[in-house]
Chain A
Amino acid sequence: MNRKAACESEIVELNEQEAAAAFDDIARREMGISGPDFLCRWDAGEWTGRRMDDVQGLVATWMALPLVR
């Protein structure tokens, strides 16, 4: 038997600044780098051809990319 849940949820739409901050948070938490640093390294093709799942945090950070692009 599952315990009863007692929580509410809401959908928050982020503005440009909030989205950039959220992306930075995700990149730092998942990969230990800043959001701008991730973007530079992504654009430089650092992970091109790699299995994304082999790089810690890369899938989660990439998935959040539309927050800033």
Chain B
Amino acid sequence: MTNRPYTWVVNAGQGMRVGDAGTFFATMQFRVIDTHPASNDASQSFRVSTLGYLYNLEGTDGTAAWRIHWHRDSVSPVTEPHLHFPPNLKLHYACERMTFEIAIRWCIEAGAPVRHSADVALQELAVTEAPHLLHRSWTSPLDPGYLEATQAGRP
């Protein structure tokens, strides 16, 4: 494994139409880190560390409904997790670390269609999110793991 950053982008940046809720955009930067199997209870030889994320929901008229951002390694002076809401999208509302599952949950709450029912979808999200919540090294930028996680292995 290398320490280089990778990214995943939903629909190559074109977003995903989520019914009447609008269009959901999601991108995450991450890196893959070698680790010793004995160092973790899952006996894995690598782990994934998030470097930044962007989860945006735009209404059907193209206006922003909300934006969930963390761009720690960017040139911006705002480096901690934050939210944007209309009408003033330039305001940064500081928050704890947000997950992809939270963004999807917010889409569902905004009316995004689901395969079965909202209750089932929310349960599946909780199951999907649980390992991350269990193993992540930080939740708040005030946590000791934050600096370590965001500075270790930086180019």
Q: Tell whether, in the assembled complex, residue A49 and residue B75 are in contact, meaning their CB atoms are under 8 Å apart.
A: yes
Residues 59 to 80 of chain B near chain A (Cβ within 8 Å): 67, 69, 71, 74-78
Closest chain A residue, CB of each to CB of B11: A9
Set of chain A residues within 8 Å of B67, measured between Cβ atoms: 53
CA gap between A11 and B7 in the complex, in Å = 12
Closest chain A residue, CB of each to CB of B91: A53
Bits for A36-64, please: 1 = Cβ < 8 Å to B, else 0: 00000000010111111110000110111
Main secondary structure, interface of B, reads: mixed
User: How many A residues are at the interface, by size bracket?
Assistant: 20 to 34
Q: Could you tell me the distance in whole angstroms from the C-beta of A26 to the nearest C-beta in chain B?
A: 4
Number of residues on chain B facing chain A (CB within 8 A): 41
Q: Tell whether, in the assembled complex, residue A52 and residue B78 are in contact, meaning their CB atoms are under 8 Å apart.
A: yes
Other-chain contact of B108, A2, A11, A59 (Cβ < 8 Å): A2
Binds A, one of B35-43, B95-103, B114-122, B139-147: B114-122
* 27 intermolecular pairs with C-beta atoms under 8 Å apart: A1-B117, A1-B118, A2-B112, A2-B117, A3-B19, A3-B113, A4-B114, A4-B116, A6-B115, A22-B12, A22-B13, A26-B9, A26-B12, A26-B13, A29-B14, A49-B77, A51-B76, A52-B71, A53-B84, A53-B92, A59-B69, A62-B74, A63-B7, A63-B52, A63-B71, A65-B5, A66-B4
